[in-house]
């Protein structure tokens, strides 16, 4: 129960952070990525503020054996730099630069009901199903048939 409340609270706080820092404005994203034009460093300050605070809290959480409301920490285990990581990040970046939205600000912006936002969201959902579908096919081919 407590873990459900904390997840809701974290989502709300994350959302407020994105909105007040200007990250729900695609123009800020285009500006940050426009190194050849009028470059906008806003995203760098947002990332900087987020990483400094999160770094501290992550260190603090590692001093504990377990999180407060859950039996254990669930951390990514992969460490290899593989083609999927780089290829996936490259495709994501292209979409980010094209539409001006990454998943967080997109979900915050859903409440506007703006058609471009909903079209982009539909694309994201389709892209997720496509990737998960392809990886399921890949796994079943790799599985030994006997």
Partner 1 sequence: MAEFEVVLPLVGGALIGLAAGLLMLLNGRVAGISGIFAALISLRMEERVWRVLFIAGLIAGGLIFMAANPQVFPERFERSLPAMAIAGLLVGFGTRLGGGCTSGHGVCGISRLSVRSIVATLTFILTGAITVYVVSHVMGGA
By the rule CB under 8 A, 141 interacts with partner 1: no
Kindly list the distances between the CA atom of residue 97 and the CA atoms of 80, 141, 145, in Å, as whole numbers in the listed order. 26, 34, 42
Residue 58 CB, shortest distance to partner 1, in Å, is: 5
Residue 139 CB, shortest distance to partner 1, in Å, is: 14
Kindly list the distances between the CA atom of residue 103 and the CA atoms of 69, 125, 142, in Å, as whole numbers in the listed order. 26, 11, 31
Between residue 69 and residue 98, which ones bind partner 1 under the rule CB under 8 A? 69-76, 78-81, 84-98
Between residue 7 and residue 46, which ones bind partner 1 under the rule CB under 8 A? 7-27, 29-31, 33-43, 45-46
Closest alpha carbon to 92 in 63, 66, 124, 114: 124
Residues in the chain: 146
Residue 49 CB, shortest distance to partner 1, in Å, is: 3
Between residue 97 and residue 116, which ones bind partner 1 under the rule CB under 8 A? 97-104, 106-112, 114-116
């Amino acid at each position: 129960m407590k873990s459900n409340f904390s997840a809701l609270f974290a989502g709300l706080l994350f959302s407020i952070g994105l909105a007040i820092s200007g990250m729900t404005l695609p123009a800020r994203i285009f500006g940050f990525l426009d190194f050849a034009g009028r470059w906008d460093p806003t995203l760098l300050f947002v990332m900087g503020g987020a990483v400094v605070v999160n770094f501290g809290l992550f260190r603090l959480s590692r001093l504990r054996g377990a999180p407060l409301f859950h039996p254990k920490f669930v951390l990514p285990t992969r460490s290899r730099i593989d083609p999927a990581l780089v290829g996936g990040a490259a495709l994501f970046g292209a979409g980010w630069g094209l539409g001006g939205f990454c998943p967080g600000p997109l979900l915050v912006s859903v409440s506007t009901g703006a058609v471009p936002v909903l079209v982009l969201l539909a694309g994201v959902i389709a892209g997720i199903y496509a990737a998960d579908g392809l990886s399921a096919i890949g796994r079943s081919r790799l599985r030994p048939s006997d």
